[in-house]
Chain A
Amino acid sequence: AQRVTQPEKLLSVFKGAPVELKCNYSYSGSPELFWYVQYSRQRLQLLLRHISRESIKGFTADLNKGETSFHLKKPFAQEEDSAMYYCAPPWGNDYKLSFGAGTTVTVRA
């Protein structure tokens, strides 16, 4: 089964500082991963997906096959980035979307 690990439950950074959320995967096959985010009082939503190679809200995520990682990064964190972030592996043959344990990010002024 596809699995991802998010080692950090909590992450606190100052506004303007870089932020990196770790995600490691441990399965074979095409590592087309996702990052989902939930802001306060909003629904869980897709932030970005590896297959699109996109940058959303200043965030990027680079796939590193050697380290089996898909860390989420932003060079200058903003207060509005405070949220819960979930790494998600690709849909498997069972068509089931699962999530990592999640990382709560707090950006302090």
Chain B
Amino acid sequence: EAGVTQFPSHSVIEKGQTVTLRCDPISGHDNLYWYRRVMGKEIKFLLHFVKESKQDESGMPNNRFLAERTGGTYSTLKVQPAELEDSGVYFCASSPEGGGIMNTEAFFGQGTRLTVV
């Protein structure tokens, strides 16, 4: 079974440009999460989809970030216009349950390394 896949693996863009990151979760997983790791190690939550609905987008830094999940399948995260501080590694994760299961494991993609110059 394919794991969580993310595209591209690495993106270098200029400040002011637009970038769209894509995440394909494991088939059948209702929950899809976006995270970001910047300037070191801490992983910050961005948002959470349950199927096609945004359950929680409290971690989205500002309105330059837009996430969608068409039909409850893959998800995209668009940054427009990109700023220097948006550089970092963006992770996507998915989990199979509707939520609230304490021993549920989250499966992560390889991440997209975004560099804004």
The chain A residues found within 8 Å of chain B, CB to CB, are 9, 30, 32, 42-46, 49, 51-52, 84, 86, 90-91, 93-99, 101-102, 104
Contact = CB atoms under 8 A, between A and B. Distances in A.
Interface of B: 3-4, 31, 33, 40-43, 45, 48, 50, 55-56, 91, 93, 95, 98-111
A95 B108 contact: no
A91 B102 contact: yes
B41 A104 contact: yes
Nearest to B31: A95
B110 A102 contact: no
A86 B91 CA distance: 14
B75 to A, nearest CB: 16
A94 to B, nearest CB: 6
